[in-house]
Amino acid sequence: MDRLDNTVRPYAWGSTTAIPALLGTEPTGEPQAEMWMGAHPGAPSRTGRGTLAEVVAADPEKELGAASAAKFGPRLPFLLKLLAAGAPLSLQVHPDLAQARQGYEDEERRSVPLDAPHRNYKDANHKPELICALTEFDGLCGFRAPAETADLLDGLGVASLKPYVDLLRAHPEDAALREVLTAILTADPEEMSRTVTETAAACDRLGGAYAPYADIAHHYPGDPGVLAAMLLNHVRLQPGEALFLGAGIPHAYLDGLGVEIMANSDNVLRCGLTPKHVDVPELLRVVRFEAGDPGILRPEASPDGEEVYDTPIDEFRLSRYVLPEGSGVHDLTLPTPQILLCTAGTVRVGEHELAPGRSVFVPAGEKTGVSGAGTLFRATVLV
């Protein structure tokens, strides 16, 4: 197995303290948003044998296992991250597999450069993802029931919101959500900026259920994404709780530290809270206009102590072990590739002693004994 040396990405929304605190290092004063563990070409983990991408490419069947290589191809199909949000991320949605393939092929056919600011599809893969909270973690996930959102907006007493309130109350659910999101994203920019400013002031004054949106508006003054965010469920995860974000579900992370795992893709369609390109027609094609409970996940324990976060896709499987002192050696050997990440205490994996924030890559089939006292996350695939 290989100890991983991982890249920390300095995105502007990142916390300056959360990842250093976990790693036991001094903050640099700069944002440290995400630590990537995997073989993604954007920032592959480094090993003593080269980058993890190079290690896998040199012998995919040995590193990934025959079944994984046959099902997902000669690459690690997931990316594991530590994610530390100190400010809201962009409001976004991901395509399903068919939409991603269609969109990618269309942009390739039109010769849209991969690095073009208006390019939507960087690859032909979908990007389901799971976020598991290590600290209290705030986010937005999925549409709130239109009638509830109408009451929320109406309670602000902002006259320019009345057309949205009326739309939310006058139509069937899917039509109401589609019409209101379309109206928000296509409104006159100056008029929308004034509405957002008034809305933000009212949210700040009222607090309570409005407080998360006041904070979003503080970070993104005048952005129409502030109103789009108010269409969504606000969720506060406690440590150990998780959210699964499937195709078409609008979402944004607001604040907190978590372990995130996703299919190996860069495909993101943005709805707001960003200076980046917002392709409204393509966004409306991908969004699922369905209201519902965001569905907080709690792990399901198995007899051997593994706690599994159950999700409906095969590209990744996330679980954790909370190991008490003196629990002996646990056999984690699998016929699939694994990344093991320590988030608390000290855990020994084979010959490697892992402190919080440290990780290893375990090739398929390699004998894997784990001991110690701490918390260990396991990322693998289903075949």
- By annotation, the residues acting in catalysis are 270
**Count of other CB atoms within 10 angstroms of residue 70:** 13
CA atoms within 13 A on the CB side of 65: 20
Q: What does residue 228 show for φ and ψ, rounded to 5 degrees? A: -60, -40
Give the pair of three-digit tokens for residue 158: 């902002």
Alpha carbon distances (Å) from 23 to 156, 345, 358? 42, 11, 8
Residue 128: what residue type? Answer: P
Give the pair of three-digit tokens for residue 330: 């646990």
Query: In the block, which residue shows the tokens 């694994």?
Result: 338
CA angle centred on 112, ends 110 and 114, rounded to 5° = 140
Give the pair of three-digit tokens for residue 337: 């590739």
Helix residue spans in the chain (DSSP H): 18-23, 52-58, 60-64, 66-72, 97-109, 146-154, 162-170, 173-186, 189-206, 211-219, 225-229, 280-286
CA distance 155 to 175: 22
Query: In the block, which residue shows the tokens 């129409």?
Result: 224
